[in-house]
């Protein structure tokens, strides 16, 4: 990757934006939110059946609207005792426009009678990278295993972080980890690390395309 190039993060979630900015901060990229790129937000109907479907929907919409390199995240919580729910409906588990607290409360109600030995879960993240010069979306995934606590813990993170006890972290919830610790073990951190070689390849291809057009 040879010089600065703009990339738009296809998310309106401030927590995701903050994490992605931190994870991409060492790369020579000008990282923009959709609002920074367009001057307004862009609502995308996330009606896909999978994280992959929704990530592609968001990346394509933002890439077309901005004509810039777009990176979309779709992620959520999969609880084994609930058959993989809330999954793609993680942000809407307690209903449309539900708050994090409402979603956490709904999850605890559903798991009230589930014993500790059966509360396994994972955070899963899919990232979709799309170039305005065309081509298929590049997809990568990341997962973080853990268990669901009976009460919220910690003050960090967002979403289900206060209930998610991270495997290998001495019983600490994701919300009890520092930002640096979370980025090392989280589903999003793992996905970004998997994305890096693809991102570097796409950016260099875009720069080559631009140079050939400019002569």
**pLDDT digit string, tens, across residues 189-199:** 999 999 998 88
Instruction: Give the whole-angstrom CA distance, residue 94 versus residue 110.
Output: 11
Q: What is the pLDDT of residues 129-147, one digit of tens each?
A: 999 988 899 999 999 999 9
CATH of the domain at 106: 3.90.950.10
Answer for the pair 108, 43: CB distance below 8 angstroms, yes or no: no
Burial 16-38 (b: 16+ CB within 10 A, else e): bbebbebbbeebebebbbbeebe
pLDDT band at 215 (very low <50, low <70, confident <90, very high): low
Q: What is the pLDDT of residues 28-52, one digit of tens each?
A: 888 899 999 998 888 888 889 999 9
Domain count, the chain: 1
In the residue annotation, 74 being an active-site residue is answered as yes
Containing domain of residue 187, as a range?
5-214
Of 74, 80, 161, 208, which residue is the catalytic one?
Answer: 74
């Amino acid at each position: 990757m040879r010089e600065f190039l703009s990339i738009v993060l296809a998310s309106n979630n401030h927590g995701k934006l903050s994490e992605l900015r931190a994870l991409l901060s060492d790369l020579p990229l000008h990282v923009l939110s959709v609002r920074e790129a367009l001057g307004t937000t862009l609502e995308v109907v996330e009606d896909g059946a999978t994280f992959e479907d929704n990530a592609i929907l968001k990346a394509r919409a933002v890439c077309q609207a901005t004509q810039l390199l777009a990176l979309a995240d779709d992620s959520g919580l999969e609880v084994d005792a609930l058959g993989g729910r809330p999954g793609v409906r993680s942000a809407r588990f307690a209903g449309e426009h539900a708050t994090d607290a409402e979603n956490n409360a709904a999850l605890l109600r559903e798991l009230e009678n589930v014993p500790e030995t059966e509360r396994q879960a994972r955070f899963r993240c899919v990232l979709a990278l799309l170039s305005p010069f065309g081509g298929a979306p590049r997809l990568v995934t990341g997962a973080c295993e853990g268990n669901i606590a009976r009460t919220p813990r910690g003050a960090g993170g967002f979403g289900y972080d206060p209930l998610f006890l991270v495997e290998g972290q001495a019983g600490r919830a994701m919300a009890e980890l520092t930002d640096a610790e979370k980025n090392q073990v989280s589903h999003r951190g793992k996905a970004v690390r998997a994305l890096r070689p693809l991102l570097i390849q796409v950016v260099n291809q875009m720069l080559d395309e631009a140079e050939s057009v400019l002569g």
